[in-house]
Amino acid sequence: MNSPSIALIGARRAHQGLGPFVAKFLAQAGASIPAFLGTSQESNRLAAEELRSIAGLVCEGFTDLDELLRAHEVHALAILSPPETHAQYLEQALERGLHVLCEKPFVLEGRDGADGVEALLKGFREQGLLVRENCQWPRLLPAFEELFGAESLRAPKRFAMGLSPSSEGVNMGSDSLSHPLSLLQALDPGLARVCDVRVQGDGGPGPHTVHFRTLGPRLEMDCEVHLADSPERPRPAWFQFDSNRAQRLIRASDYAIFLGHADRLVPAPDPMESHLRGFVHDLALTLHGTPAPDTSPILHRARMLTDLLAAFPST
């Protein structure tokens, strides 16, 4: 089986970007990364240096997508650029019949919101194209279950999560809320609705807490997500079902990841590495005729995210 070929859009670490790390994990999973798209020759020079130093990859930079596609056979785009650019690149991928990995959030409300997402996903589905949003936190649920036991995820009534985005106000939500929503969807795959949404915070740089309820086909949960910038590195993160709280811990010496509670640690796979390995695996299968997985969770997540962001106070 030939390696899937993936081009990057947003290959740099600028604006907290993860481009070189995503490229590294995609390549380690067996994908070929021949090229990337940037905004200028200088930006491309910097991106090429980061890809070489961080990911060990030699990639050719372009400023025009069609020129890139004429020079390289590419099966998919990894859209890692700022969220406000996602819709335009998703449209370009669809027009050119390319599979897609897209950084979260998939599309922000400013570009037709969930209705725009529905139209895009319909187009990808009609062409049999694979679409994946880069929401990796569900990959930690097996470690959570090992930490607290199988019953801990059977029928929880309450969920909470703490994340440390560096942004402010509603941008804290757009940067972060896809993560808790994806965890909730992993437990209740048909989840498509949130209600009773309220946000504590002033819309500025301070902490914000997002309260809501889920109304899914299997579970109903009271949820709260705590968002607060932190000087700590790595940035603190935790999630909790009922009274069971797991802290995400990263060992500085080798970046190994653990979930911890009290004095107990459980090793966990790097969720991004695991998620991207899954994308490359599914892309290879799709290229060989396996139907692309259902994209309705992306649409449902976009609708719920729109509802949560609408509750943030304006500044």
pTM of the model: 0.94
Residue 315 placed within a domain? no
Let me know whether 147 and 265 are in one domain: yes
Q: How confident is the model over 91-101, as pLDDT tens digits?
A: 999 999 999 99
- Do the beta carbons of residue 27 and residue 57 sit within 8 Å? yes
Let me know whether 211 and 249 are in one domain: yes
Let me know whether 105 and 18 are in one domain: yes
Residue 62 placed within a domain? yes
Let me know whether 141 and 256 are in one domain: yes
Residue 191 to residues 54, 221, 274, Cα–Cα distance (Å): 37, 11, 23
Helix (DSSP H) and strand (DSSP E) numbers for the chain: 10, 14
Let me know whether 106 and 222 are in one domain: no
Q: Is the pLDDT of residue 1 over 60?
A: no
Domain enclosing residue 243, as ranges: 137-270+304-310
E-state strands within 104-207: 131-134, 158-163, 194-200
Q: How far apart are CA 202 and CA 177, in angstroms?
A: 17
Residue 1 placed within a domain? no
- Do the beta carbons of residue 57 and residue 307 sit within 8 Å? no
Q: Is the pLDDT of residue 174 over 50?
A: yes
Q: How far apart are CA 224 and CA 236, in angstroms?
A: 16
Let me know whether 120 and 144 are in one domain: no
- Do the beta carbons of residue 59 and residue 35 sit within 8 Å? yes
Let me know whether 187 and 214 are in one domain: yes
Residue 100 placed within a domain? yes
Residue 93 placed within a domain? yes
Residue 175's pLDDT band, with cuts at 50, 70 and 90, is very high
Sign of CA dihedral 24, 29, 34, 39: negative
- In the chain, the number of structural domains is 2
Let me know whether 22 and 91 are in one domain: yes
Q: What is the DSSP string of 191-212?
A: ---EEEEEEES-SSSS-EEEEE
Q: How far apart are CA 34 and CA 61, in angstroms?
A: 9
CATH number of 262's domain: 3.30.360
Residue 297 placed within a domain? no
CATH number of 55's domain: 3.40.50.720
Mean per-residue pLDDT, 238-262: 96
Let me know whether 212 and 108 are in one domain: no
Let me know whether 127 and 13 are in one domain: yes
Q: Is the pLDDT of residue 294 over 70?
A: yes
Let me know whether 63 and 169 are in one domain: no
Let me know whether 127 and 155 are in one domain: no
Rounded to 10 degrees, the C-alpha dihedral 64/85/102/257 comes to 110
